[in-house]
Amino acid sequence: MTDFIRFLEPQPAILSRRDAIVADLVDLLPKDCLIHAPRELVPFETDAFVSYRRVPLAVALPRTTEEVAAVMRYCHKYGVPVVPRGAGTSLSGGAIPQEDAVVLGLSKMSRILDIDLANRTATVQAGVTNLNISEAVSPEGFFYAPDPSSQLACTIGGNIGMNSGGAHCLKYGVTTNNLLGVRMVLVDGTVIELGGKHLDAGGYDLLGLVCGHEGQLGIVTEATVRLIAKPEGARPVLFGFETSEEAGSCVADVIGSGIIPVAIEFMDKPAIEICEAFAKAGYPLDVGALLIVEVEGSEAEMDAMLADIVEIARRHGVKTVRECQSATEAALIWKGRKSAFGATGRISDYICMDGTVPLSQLSYVLKKTSEIIDRFGLRVANVFHAGDGNMHPLILFNANDPDDAARAEQAGNEILKLCVDAGGCLTGEHGVGIEKRDLMTHQYGKVDLDQQMAVRAAFDPGWLLNPSKVFPLEGRPAA
Amino acid sequence: MQTNFTPAQLADPHVAESEKILRKCVHCGFCTATCPTYVTLGDELDSPRGRIYLIKDMLENGRAADEQVVKHIDRCLSCLACTTTCPSGVDYMHLVDHARAHIEKTYKRPLMNRLTRGVLAMVLPYPGRFRMALQLARLGRPLAPLFDRVTSLKPFAAMLRLAPKSVPPASASAQPAVHAANVAPNLTARGRVAILTGCAQPVLDPGINEATIALLTRLGIEVVVPQGEGCCGSLVHHMGREEQALAAARRNVDVWMREVETGGLDAVIITASGCGTTIKDYGHMLRLDPAYAEKAAQVSALAKDVTEYLATLDLPAHMPKGITVAYHSACSMQHGQKITLAPKQLLKAAGFTVRDPAEGHLCCGSAGTYNIMQPEISAQLKARKVRNIEATKPDIIATGNIGCITQIASGTGIPILHTVELLDWAYGGPRPAQLSAAKWASAGQPLGTPA
């Protein structure tokens, strides 16, 4: 565990009342919905940003909005911090607790409440996984578009918290473009509803504000999302290039020419090798970089769009173009891509960056990234949503070597600063969490941050919700 | 993940292995999504990632197991859906095996729990005792509701409910013998295999091995039921009773190696996929035993599920029969042995219309003795499984594991058979006894009209 990133110091007044808080919460919740035995709390000390860990005071697993509200009312009354948790798949440490906090886990709230095909909406509890929504409506020919690579496990509540994206968001937009309404518990236990089954808000777009709130404005307990009809056909095509730079400039040209495929995903050589070893999807191993471009529509539409893309790729020296021949092959191509992070675990520990850059800067940033990695004596695998300019360098290191871990973290910080300096931003879809918190001052000046904190304080004046995250500890308003 | 073990701890080969496994986990959380207990209970402590963390914490601190860790490890079905899902290649099976052995060594279970487990370990692996116990259970069945009222007696209620209403007589197929290949006198057999008699299966449903022997010999394979075979050891292995499990493994290795050395074997055929997963792991289980390591690895390589072996025999394709079969893939088949296509391809080739129930990756809740030791979770999983199977509107359910057959049969009226029983029927055998109703008589014989 490295310790560059500090958490808020636990409040002794809360720690000393631990037993009383636990006893009260046990009374508030049904049997088996409160975890408080010290050893049972350890597995909740982290999420998928596993370099940082803090054991929480207790873990509440409510089953209804009313139970969430009861926990919030209690914690608000006694000033106990609360850290919301969906499936704990955050790559930015968004769900890592702190010692004086109650984790509010939504994993027992996993029911699909309403599927309304006439209005093309689904209303679900926040603990429903992203993929469950698509699976539930698939027989009817629909799907929920944003598809984070962790969609098998991550929850819609977590997706809303981080405004998650995914490979297919190039065409369909990220969570905020597909969210229609939420039911949400405010910090004091008040239950509110924002949006509904309709397209826009009557007044301020508070739903837009809530999407990406990183668990700091309230606890989303239910969500209504937009369903989209499945396309007539979809075809992923593999484009192999000699170098990452060529692949990068090809992406910029495709998008620049006005073509919007469903997805343009990038993998460099190390990433190709890792994913191929896991998924055996038939990725070409003799290229330096690979683009997975998915087109969809009727056969004629797909052929036409593909012809245009191939034409552009030729100008950038594409080495191989391979169209996928079957649904099984397409599934394997996406399985490999979506498992890229986990599959990296086969060869090394890693931390995953999430900077986003303007497409014109893609090649430059890729080149600079590898220079930074070389300077720190590390290795990197790049696999990311190229069409969105959303980069995910996976910095490989040895977690059992503190020096290696420290260098990986430093290199990561430099890469994220590079993204900002290139005109981009710190996070495309993973959120700021704890990981990028202290880099926020690189992206924003004091005025910007003060305004954002003022918005936050409008919802949670006492800074009880996920308080260690997003905003640097220095420069916060005095409590 | 980062790990914290001292060199002294790592000197223990079991700890060293677990450390290697833990280092592969990146804590991504994908495994939670396909874990039947997490999906049912919604608590990460009852998910693979939570259990891995509990085990890590216990082993790193060199601690004896405690009540909480035991609760969550006991709730694991060992279905290994997590292993299929895990992109990082975390070998959860061997990690949880180690944890179970550690629990068995360092934790004293409450009296009734000890007693129940003791009874299961003393009875189930021995066909004679098991048959007698089933007959007793039939008499004791009316007591089940009474046992249900006391938490520590619930496993006994579950046992009584699972016991079949009648116990078939002992079958000749379980007796040591050489079943000659059915080939013309001047021809030699196409192959020679041993068959694992098994422990619970030949008592509950001797028809499975009878069908296997009949089908294989008809296909020109000589089938040996060797003298001295016993339970594969899976049952005690999953209880953490390592010495007992290894003793079972050694005995079977001896028996099969004797056959290899005398008559030669192309395969050891297994008709219960739960046993298959364990026998294919003998090489690993006995890796630290210099006298057995090599032989055990050889046996593991020979071990084949009956469908895996049949798939190598090029069976002829048949015309469609108009019979819809829902194929339930046992966890030990799809996750433990990674056999997913062969059984379905065989059934399709034999002319059955095959349906895949939704959520096929989820366990039916049988899982060895799980339906006895964890009756509540098991019942929820059974209901979910039966719902998904019945939604495909099948005429018959097929699967490759006796545990699943018993479990699912207790929740549905649709006949459930072992895959090999349907294949034997299709390729010239008699209609399985379970399909004796008038409906099936009209399905007609012979079913095996080549296309």
Angle formed at CA A35 by CA A29 and CA A40, multiple of 5 degrees: 170
What local confidence, expressed as pLDDT, does residue B161 receive? 86
Q: Identify how many contiguous H helices and E strands chain B contains and give both numbers.
A: 27, 9
Q: Is A77 exposed, middle or buried (0-12, 13-18, 19+ CB in 10 A)?
A: exposed
Q: Which residues contact B202 (CB under 8 A, 6 or more apart)?
A: B127, B170, B171, B173, B174, B208, B209
Q: Do A43 and B54 touch (CB under 8 A)?
A: yes
Minimal Cα–Cα distance from B24 to chain A, Å? 6
Q: Which residues pair with A390 in a beta bridge?
A: A356, A385
Using an 8 Å CB-CB cutoff, list chain A residues near B23: 349, 399-400
Smallest CA–CA distance from B42 into chain A, residue: A108
Q: Hey, what domains does chain B have and what are their CATH numbers?
A: 7-106 (1.10.1060.10), 111-162 (no CATH), 172-310 (no CATH), 316-441 (3.40.50.1860)
Q: Which residues contact B88 (CB under 8 A, 6 or more apart)?
A: A342, A343, A344, A345, A346, B24, B25, B26, B28
Using an 8 Å CB-CB cutoff, list chain A residues near B34: 152
What residues of chain B have any CB closer than 8 angstroms to a CB in chain A?
Answer: 1-3, 23-34, 38-39, 41-45, 49-50, 53-54, 57, 66, 68-69, 72, 85-90
- Name residues 159-218 of chain A within 8 A of B (Cβ): none
Q: Which residues contact A19 (CB under 8 A, 6 or more apart)?
A: none
In this structure, what token pair is assigned to residue A44?
A: 């909740």
Give dist(CA B423, CA B351) in Å, integer.
Answer: 10
Mean pLDDT of A176-192: 97
Angle formed at CA B409 by CA B405 and CA B410, multiple of 5 degrees: 125
What local confidence, expressed as pLDDT, does residue A324 receive? 86
End-to-end CA distance of chain A: 29
Q: Do B33 and A87 touch (CB under 8 A)?
A: yes
Q: Which residues pair with A184 in a beta bridge?
A: A192, A220
Residue B449 pLDDT class (50, 70, 90 cuts): very low
Mutate to test the interface with B, among A45, A89, A328 (most CBs of B within 10 A): A89
In this structure, what token pair is assigned to residue A297?
A: 């529509």
Q: How does pLDDT run across B297-332, given as a tens digit for each residue?
A: 999 999 999 999 999 999 999 999 899 999 999 999
- Nearest 10 degrees: CA dihedral of B419, B423, B425, B427? -170
Minimal Cα–Cα distance from B11 to chain A, Å? 18
Where on the phi/psi map is residue A298: left (φ > 0), alpha (ψ -120 to 50), or beta? beta
Give dist(CA A298, CA B313) in Å, integer.
Answer: 42
Residue B440 pLDDT class (50, 70, 90 cuts): low
The amino acid that residue B167 corresponds to is V
Give dist(CA A32, CA B376) in Å, integer.
Answer: 14
What local confidence, expressed as pLDDT, does residue B442 receive? 54
In this structure, what token pair is assigned to residue A420?
A: 């900002």
Mean pLDDT of B172-196: 93
Residue A328 φ/ψ, nearest 5 degrees:
-60, -45
Using an 8 Å CB-CB cutoff, list chain B residues near A399: 1-2, 23
CA A264 to chain CA centroid, Å, is: 18
Whether the per-residue pLDDT at B32 is higher than 70: the answer is: yes
Q: What is the DSSP string of B15-79?
A: HHHHHHHHHH-----HHHHH-HHHHHH--GGGSHHHHHHHHHHHHHTTPPP-HHHHHHHHT----
Q: Do A88 and B29 touch (CB under 8 A)?
A: yes
What local confidence, expressed as pLDDT, does residue B441 receive? 59
Beta strands across the sheet bearing B353-355: B353-355, B324-328, B396-399, B416-418
Q: Do B53 and A43 touch (CB under 8 A)?
A: yes
Mean pLDDT of B155-182: 90
Q: Which residues contact A257 (CB under 8 A, 6 or more apart)?
A: A308, A312
Give dist(CA B55, CA B71) in Å, integer.
Answer: 12
Using an 8 Å CB-CB cutoff, list chain A residues near B30: 89, 150, 152-153, 339, 342
Minimal Cα–Cα distance from A187 to chain B, Å? 24
ipTM of the complex: 0.95
Whether the per-residue pLDDT at A232 is higher than 50: the answer is: yes
In this structure, what token pair is assigned to residue B311?
A: 């798939």
Q: Which residues contact B269 (CB under 8 A, 6 or more apart)?
A: B193, B194, B195, B196, B212, B216, B223, B304, B305, B306, B309
Out of B30, B42, B68, whose CB is closest to A39? B68
A339-348, A453-462, B5-14: which range is least confident on average? Answer: A339-348
Out of B2, B30, B43, whose CB is closest to A342? B30
Mutate to test the interface with A, among B1, B19, B30 (most CBs of A within 10 A): B30
Mean pLDDT of B266-287: 98
Q: Which residues contact B53 (CB under 8 A, 6 or more apart)?
A: A42, A43
Q: Which residues contact A219 (CB under 8 A, 6 or more apart)?
A: A68, A72, A82, A84, A104, A106, A126, A184, A185, A465
Residue written as token pair 């022997």: B213
Minimal Cα–Cα distance from A23 to chain B, Å? 19
Contact of A16 with chain B, judged by CB distance below 8 Å, is answered with: no
Minimal Cα–Cα distance from A209 to chain B, Å? 27
What local confidence, expressed as pLDDT, does residue B185 receive? 85
- Nearest 10 degrees: CA dihedral of B388, B392, B397, B401? -40
Q: Do A343 and B87 touch (CB under 8 A)?
A: yes
| Helix/strand/coil for A147 | coil
Gyration radius of chain A's alpha carbons: 22
Question: How many beta-carbon contacts under 8 Å exist across A and B?
Answer: 120
Minimal Cα–Cα distance from B13 to chain A, Å? 19
Beta strands across the sheet bearing A179-185: A112-116, A121-125, A219-226, A179-185, A191-195
User: What does the mean pLDDT of chain A come to?
Assistant: 95
What local confidence, expressed as pLDDT, does residue B396 receive? 97
Half-sphere exposure (CA, 13 Å, Cβ side) for B44? Answer: 35
Mutate to test the interface with B, among A1, A2, A34, A40 (most CBs of B within 10 A): A40
Contact of A345 with chain B, judged by CB distance below 8 Å, is answered with: yes
Half-sphere exposure (CA, 13 Å, Cβ side) for B214? Answer: 21
Residue A278 pLDDT class (50, 70, 90 cuts): confident
Minimal Cα–Cα distance from B3 to chain A, Å? 7
Smallest CA–CA distance from A401 into chain B, residue: B2
If you ran DSSP here, which 8-state letter would residue A463 be given? -
The amino acid that residue B211 corresponds to is A
What local confidence, expressed as pLDDT, does residue B265 receive? 97
Q: Do A89 and B29 touch (CB under 8 A)?
A: yes
What local confidence, expressed as pLDDT, does residue B349 receive? 97
Mean pLDDT of B145-171: 88
What local confidence, expressed as pLDDT, does residue B451 receive? 43
Out of B1, B29, B66, whose CB is closest to A153? B29
Residue A401 φ/ψ, nearest 5 degrees:
-115, 105
- Name residues 412-431 of chain A within 8 A of B (Cβ): none
Mean pLDDT of A198-208: 86
Out of A44, A153, A345, whose CB is closest to B32? A153
Q: Do B29 and A350 touch (CB under 8 A)?
A: no
Mean pLDDT of A221-227: 98
Out of A47, A109, A345, whose CB is closest to B88? A345
Out of A107, A154, A400, whose CB is closest to B2? A400
Contact of A107 with chain B, judged by CB distance below 8 Å, is answered with: yes
How many residues belong to chain B? 451
Strands (E), B76-183: 177-179
Q: Which residues pair with A396 in a beta bridge?
A: A350, A379
Smallest CA–CA distance from A346 into chain B, residue: B88
In this structure, what token pair is assigned to residue A381?
A: 């695998």
Contact of A280 with chain B, judged by CB distance below 8 Å, is answered with: no
User: What does the mean pLDDT of chain B come to?
Assistant: 94
Q: Do A129 and B33 touch (CB under 8 A)?
A: yes
Give dist(CA A326, CA B182) in Å, integer.
Answer: 42
Alpha helices (runs of H) in A200-339, residue ranges in sequence order: 206-210, 244-256, 269-279, 299-315, 327-338
Q: How does pLDDT run across B208-246, given as a tens digit for each residue?
A: 999 999 999 999 999 999 999 999 999 999 999 999 999
Q: Which residues contact A159 (CB under 8 A, 6 or more apart)?
A: A86, A130, A146, A148, A175
Using an 8 Å CB-CB cutoff, list chain B residues near A401: none
Q: Hey, what domains does chain A have and what are their CATH numbers?
A: 112-229 (3.30.465.10), 232-432 (3.40.462.10)
In this structure, what token pair is assigned to residue B90?
A: 């975390």
Mutate to test the interface with B, among A147, A155, A339, A350 (most CBs of B within 10 A): A339
Q: Which residues contact B257 (CB under 8 A, 6 or more apart)?
A: B295, B298, B299
Smallest CA–CA distance from B54 into chain A, residue: A43
Mean pLDDT of A383-396: 94
Distances in Å between the alpha carbon of B246 and those of A4, B260, B270? 48, 20, 19
Using an 8 Å CB-CB cutoff, list chain A residues near B54: 39-40, 42-43
If you ran DSSP here, which 8-state letter would residue A470 be given? S
Please answer whether residues B405 and B418 qualify as being in contact, where contact means their C-beta atoms are separated by less than 8 angstroms. yes
Nearest one of A211, A132, A214 to A179, comparing CA atoms: A211
Give dist(CA A472, CA A468) in Å, integer.
Answer: 8
If you ran DSSP here, which 8-state letter would residue A230 be given? P
What local confidence, expressed as pLDDT, does residue B445 receive? 47
- Name residues 40-79 of chain A within 8 A of B (Cβ): 40, 42-44, 46-48, 50-51, 61
Smallest CA–CA distance from A350 into chain B, residue: B26
Which percentage of chain B shows pLDDT scores above 90? 85
What local confidence, expressed as pLDDT, does residue A215 receive? 98
Q: Do A48 and B28 touch (CB under 8 A)?
A: yes
Residue A123 φ/ψ, nearest 5 degrees:
-115, 125
What local confidence, expressed as pLDDT, does residue B437 receive? 64
What local confidence, expressed as pLDDT, does residue B448 receive? 45
Out of B26, B33, B68, whose CB is closest to A40? B68
Using an 8 Å CB-CB cutoff, list chain A residues near B27: 46-48, 50
Minimal Cα–Cα distance from B377 to chain A, Å? 14
The amino acid that residue A17 corresponds to is R
Q: How does pLDDT run across A338-362, given as a tens digit for each residue?
A: 899 989 999 999 999 999 999 999 9
Give dist(CA A21, CA A99) in Å, integer.
Answer: 13
Q: Do B43 and A35 touch (CB under 8 A)?
A: yes
Mean pLDDT of A204-232: 96
Q: Identify how many contiguous H helices and E strands chain A contains and give both numbers.
A: 17, 18
| Helix/strand/coil for B194 | strand
Give dist(CA B319, CA A294) in Å, integer.
Answer: 39
Give dist(CA B40, CA B365) in Å, integer.
Answer: 11
Q: Is A38 exposed, middle or buried (0-12, 13-18, 19+ CB in 10 A)?
A: exposed
Give dist(CA B247, CA B256) in Å, integer.
Answer: 14
If you ran DSSP here, which 8-state letter would residue B417 be given? E
